[in-house]
Structure 1
Amino acid sequence: MNEPVLSIRDLSISFKTSNGTVNAIRGVDLDLNKGETLAIVGESGSGKSVTVKAIMGILSGNQEIRSGTIQFRYNRDGEEVHQDLLQLSKKDMRRRINGKRIAMVFQDPMTSLNPTMAVGKQIMEGLIIHLKMSRPEAHERALELLRLVGIADPEKRMKSYPHQLSGGMRQRVVIAIMLACNPEVLICDEPTTALDVTVQAKILELIKNIQAKMQLSVIYITHDLGVVAKVADSVAVMYAGKIVERGTVNEIFYDPRHPYTCGLLSSMPDIVTETEKLYSIPGSPPNLLHEVKGDAFAPRNRYALNIDFQEEPPMFQISDTHYAATWLLHEQAPSMEMAASLKARIETARKEAGEWTESDSWR
């Protein structure tokens, strides 16, 4: 395997609020390899965005990093540098990392663009500050970037203001800005949520093509498993501030082992299932103002064991790349039967994909 570009170890983050301390991230371990697309999925409030904002150093003032490291490996003047991003000040993060080494695309492009500045100037700004380009050089590079992201008549668009562009074009401009300084890592926080379905597909395809050209490592934050299926190499499933399952995209979609992952997959709409009602996971996520005892998912898990309410499960290894944190994988645990509806969905998906063997099956 490649040495990871990003390695997160034992990351724990809390937020001080008027009601008490929220333990938003509770010991996250995660790796991103060079050229890989990693998708982080989970319900709202599971900790996806907080995790990547910690990578970018853009958490709010009431945060507290309780433990952990975020090791970033990058090349500087032909020499490999290992840097713990949590040890850098906000000023150093902006000067040395943000935009230049790690870039982030947010879900609403209008919040990322300055409404009073022409888009051409906004693309040129990072080139002039970080890469010390002259204005004519930055102008030419900005035109190249607009062509790269598929914007027609880039000379004209350089002079346009954000409100004069469609949602899809604004997101393309944001991607151009993020790519301006040739970053090694691109983080996409639900980049297609505010766009209609046809534009969404074009933006996903665009990011995929650019990734291949520039050998980018990409992190997607999303709750849309349809997006994950299209773009991801590997998947990390988050619940209540922890990673509860991780594996390749095939392992997560065709061989899910955590009951929460099974619930997410069961709740996806498809054209095969004949039932009129979509499945929904019962209950709601725990309140992280209070200490979580045992498995955070236990109150919503119909397969929960007594130990789930007493002790937090470790990560059990299923294969070289597949892990899940559930006591149901313990050798002494009773067998868990996958829901018939989910099993039927997976079998249909396997046949359509034609890339999963019969030996890869639920225990």
Structure 2
Amino acid sequence: MREKSLTIRDLTVSFRTSNGTVNAVRGVDLDLYKGETLAIVGESGSGKSVTVKAVMGITSSNQSIDAGSILYEYESHGGTKEQKELLKLSRKEMRQHINGTHIAMVFQDPMTSLDPTMNIGTQLTEGMIHHLHLTKRAARARAVELLEMVGITEPEKRMKNYPHQLSGGMRQRVVIAIALSCNPDILICDEPTTALDVTIQAKILELIKDIQQRIGISVIYITHDLGVVAKVADYVAVMYAGRIVEKGTVEDIFYDPRHPYTWGLLSSMPDISSDSSQRLYTIPGSPPNMVNLPAGDPFAPRNQFALEADFKVEPPTFQISQTHYAATWLLDKRAPKVEMPDSLRQRINTMKGAGDGCE
């Protein structure tokens, strides 16, 4: 039986600005299961990072969580099942009892996560001393083990280094080691490879996947890169304008996408098997103004398959299978039958034949 780690229901988050209220996250429902990887994908500004920061209790002064619940389920030290409603905890309670020890986060730029005035050893051990109540000696021994686990050579020597003395890839490995130092159940990775070159990106993704398989943690990836999603995810949620517009297993999303926005994202992926003389597909238009969302489906003005209803009423979420859901009027039984573009169908058939899309 799969065990849930995190249940997000109807999460709604807004920001007060001088131009009006930004409706950043609108009624998000997500489930994360123990030992599995959920990828949240979408363009910049779609609400991905705001969603996971709400899980971590990271909020700004002009931010408001207007509705919803985030239920975290875990096993206590005594072996009993426990539940916590994270949105009901104060910022202090989140810092003391959840962040680091139960849920940890890796941000996209390691230099903003590391203190330039402290050496790596001190930054690795302080959380373990505070949360796990280890002695300095025990914390230091575990810090060396963690650096070895994330693939850093000469860990004893690196403990004395400062962040500026390490490469970008090594800094990101240190950040991952810090995130894992207090044995969290859930690791949130917010575009952890964006600032790294391609070869280091692949190594970091493999590293996180390997650690997950070894210690059984649940992982949430935030990314706009579907290539990353194909490599790491079990489940995928596609976000647009603060809402989940499609979610399912990685096979559902890559092999049987149903939302026109997902079609656009998949069509815009570089593909080495494609004719190099063809222009790469781009989704027309721009994301909507989140202060003043249009009537109906926010994606409708960019959607070549939009129906008349899309400009009037935002579509509900339709269930396609036990694992697959999408919010598009094309799935309404009254809608005309619209197939995905032939070019995307051919690309999916190529992926299936090569077996390289979703492994």
TM-score exceeds 0.5 = yes
User: How many matched pairs?
Assistant: 356
CA distance, structure 1, for counterparts of residue 185 and residue 357 of structure 2: 30
**Whole-Å Cα distance in 2 between the matches of residues 121 and 53 of structure 1?**
25
- Cα distance between partner residues in 1 of 2:344 and 2:108: 30
What's the counterpart of residue 3 of structure 1? 3
Q: Which of 309, 331, 345 does residue 329 from structure 1 map onto?
A: 331
How far apart in 2 are the matches of 1:301 and 1:150?
45
Residue 256 of structure 2 is matched in structure 1 by 255
Deviations 1:49-91 (A, max 9, x none): 0000000011211001110000000122222211111101110
CA-CA distance at 1:337 after TM superposition = 2.3
More displaced, 244-253 or 338-347?
A: 338-347
- For the pair 1:75 / 2:75, whether they are aligned, the reply is yes
Q: Distance in 1 between matches of 2:2 and 2:340?
A: 34
- Root-mean-square deviation (CA), in Å? 1.2
- The change in CA–CA distance for 1:355 and 1:162 in structure 2 (over 3 A counts) is closer
Q: Deviations over 1:118-139 (max 9, x none)?
A: 1011000000000000000001
- Conserved? CA contact 2:254–2:357, under 8 Å: no
1:318 corresponds to 2:320 = yes
Deviation, 1:116, is 0.6
When residues 16 and 340 of structure 1 are mapped into structure 2, their CA distance, relative to the original with a 3 A threshold, is same
Decide whether the 8 Å contact of 1:118 with 1:161 is kept in 2.
Answer: yes
Counterpart in 1 of 2:291? Answer: 289
Matched letter for residue 273 of structure 2: V
The answer to whether residue 17 in structure 2 is matched with residue 17 in structure 1 is: yes
Conserved 8 A contact 1:184-1:216: yes
CA distance in 1 between partners of 2:179 and 2:255 (Å): 34
How far is the alpha carbon of 1:318 from its aligned partner? Answer: 1.0
Letter in 2 for 1:246: K
Q: Give the aligned partner of residue 156 of structure 2.
A: 155
Change (3 A) 1:355 1:221: closer
Distance 2:291 2:166 in 1: 42
**Residues 1-363 of structure 1 mapped to structure 2, 5 A cutoff:** 2-77=2-77, 78-274=79-275, 275-353=277-355
Greater CA deviation, 151-160 or 290-299? 290-299
Give the superposition deviation at 1:340. 1.6
Pairwise CA distance, 1:314: 1.1
State TM-score, norm by structure 2. Answer: 0.97
> In the aligned structure 1, how far is the partner of 2:316 from the partner of 2:21?
25
- The secondary structure found in structure 1 opposite 2:133 is coil
CA shift digits 1:28-63 (9 cap, x unpaired): 000000011000000000000000000001121100
Q: Which is further off, 305-314 or 189-198?
A: 305-314
